[in-house]
Structure 1
Amino acid sequence: MKELVTVIIPILEAQINPTEEKLLHHALDILREYPVIFVAGEGADLSVVREHTENIDVVHFPKHFFESRRHLGQLFLMSDFYDRFNWCDFLLIHELNSWVVKDELYYWCKQGYDYCKTGPLLANAGDAPGMLKRIAGLSEEEKRLYGSGYAGNGLYLCRIERMTATLKSKRRVAHDYRHNPNLPNADSVFWELEANRFLPHLRKPTDIVRSHFAQYGVQYQNGTTLPFALTGISRDNIHEIPYFKTLPETE
């Protein structure tokens, strides 16, 4: 019988900073009831990770995929990545810029969606393309603007079977996205704009529903309903996010 969900935590080559360590420690604590697997480059130094947990499971991929976030995005656009974990139904990809607020992972796996991720953080709401524009296709400049809105947005839940099927049916498009060095966060742009273009390959929640799944930490206002997770967290903004100001110092 398959596992329902596995948590995947990517570790890039760059040294983990104190904020990322805090996010890592919290993830291991709040998601301790689920299998957690680290993905890293071949020969990666994971000594910092081992300081937070004694026994770790690691799946290695070619080192170049972990040189930067752009390279990691290339890995997330390959069916081989998802196939490596085909012994479970879902993956929660949890980069070290996100914080799970409350353990609702089982709930979200049971909602019938194939892909859950909060939308981009855009300077103007009008920058989000409408349905007709999505079908017609965005220009390269529009894609770059849209992709920049996904900076630091490193949390998504996906159904493995549907992700691999989508990538295989859109192999050429995914290849073009993987090899576009000028497109930031190409993986997020692909899943948002291309996966359901012309034909619906993935069941996705509405904007309102996915705001309950995740929100940007800088947008969350205390007193409103907390989502499953906050994302877009970095050492540059964590001290300015109201949510973190309410946590005990031990956090």
Structure 2
Amino acid sequence: MKELVSVIVPILDPQINPTEERLLHHCLNTLEKYPVIFIAYEGADLSIVKEHNEDIDVIYFPKKYFQSRAALAGLLLMEDFYDRFSWCDFLLIHELNSWVTRDELYYWCKQGYDYLKAGPTEDDNIKRLGGIISRISGLKDDEKRLFGQAYANNGIYLCRIERMINTIKAKQKEVYQYRHSADFLHADSVFWEIEANRFWPHLRKPTNVVRNHFAMDAANINLNKTLPFALTGISKENIHHLSYFKSLPEAD
């Protein structure tokens, strides 16, 4: 019988900073009842990570995919990546710029969606690029770069493995182009947002309202309303200025 979901934590730079350590520690505590698997390059020194859990599970991929976030995007657009986790139904990709507010992972796996991710940082240009016309006609290279920038530090998503693999197979030409476009950030997010459902709905995605209940940029939340399952957009530069973290006890 398959596992329902596994949590995947990418480690690009093993020398994680104190903010990333805090996010990692919280991830291990909050999602402790699920398998947590780290992905890294062969030979990576994960001693800092092991300080939080000595018995970690690690799956290694070629080092070229861990040179930058843009390089990691190429890995997250490969059929082989998802095949490595075919013993479970869902993956929660949890980069170390995100924070799960409470464990609702089982709930979100059971909602019937194939891909859930916080929306891009929006302005008028991004709304236009993410609109129905762009989804039909596609984006030019400069528009892809702009749209990718709107996913900066947007590092958590839940996906159904089988449907991700099927989409990659159905979009081989497009996914190849995105995987080899190293000149813009977050090619994976742009592909899954714009290309995956062009002409045919390969992935079941939520409405904007629903996905805001799944995840939001931590800078945009309202502490007086119900928090989403996860917050993203967290870094060492902004964590001390975000209202959510100001509201937490020092021990958290």
State the alpha-carbon separation in 1 of the partners of residues 181 and 31 from structure 2. Answer: 34
Aligned to 1:151: 152
Aligned to 2:218: 217
Partner letter of residue 221 of structure 2?
A: Y
Deviations 1:32-54 (A, max 9, x none): 01000000001111001000012
Aligned to 2:245: 244
Partner letter of residue 190 of structure 1?
A: F
- SS, match of residue 219 in structure 2: coil
Residues 166 and 139 from structure 1, CA distance in 2 versus in 1: closer, same or farther, beyond 3 angstroms? same
Aligned to 2:74: 74
Shift of 1:139: 1.5
Superposed, 1:171-210 pairs within 5 Å as 171-210=172-211
Aligned to 2:164: 163
Query: In 1, are the aligned partners of 2:130 and 2:194 still within 8 Å (CA)?
Result: no
CA-based RMSD? 1.0
Shift of 1:13: 2.7
Aligned to 2:108: 108
- 2:56 paired with 1:30: no
Shift of 1:242: 0.3
% identical aligned pairs: 63
State the alpha-carbon separation in 1 of the partners of residues 134 and 96 from structure 2. Answer: 33
State the alpha-carbon separation in 2 of the partners of residues 105 and 166 from structure 1. Answer: 23
State the alpha-carbon separation in 1 of the partners of residues 34 and 133 from structure 2. Answer: 40
Deviations 1:190-233 (A, max 9, x none): 00000000000000000000000000001112111100000010
Shift of 1:142: 1.3
State the alpha-carbon separation in 1 of the partners of residues 127 and 217 from structure 2. Answer: 18
Number of corresponding residues: 251
Superposed, 1:114-133 pairs within 5 Å as 114-124=114-124, 126-133=127-134
Shift of 1:93: 0.2
Query: In 2, are the aligned partners of 1:13 and 1:41 still within 8 Å (CA)?
Result: no
TM-score by length of 1: 0.98
Residues 123 and 88 from structure 1, CA distance in 2 versus in 1: closer, same or farther, beyond 3 angstroms? same
Aligned to 1:99: 99
In the alignment, structure 1 segments of 5+ residues that lack a partner are none
Moved more, 121-130 or 137-146: 121-130
Query: In 2, are the aligned partners of 1:42 and 1:61 still within 8 Å (CA)?
Result: yes
TM-score by length of 2: 0.97
- 2:40 paired with 1:40: yes
- SS, match of residue 111 in structure 1: coil
Query: In 2, are the aligned partners of 1:122 and 1:128 still within 8 Å (CA)?
Result: no
Shift of 1:123: 3.6
In the alignment, structure 2 segments of 5+ residues that lack a partner are none
Partner letter of residue 93 of structure 1?
A: I
Deviations 1:82-120 (A, max 9, x none): 000000000000000000001000000000000000111
- SS, match of residue 218 in structure 1: helix
Shift of 1:127: 4.1
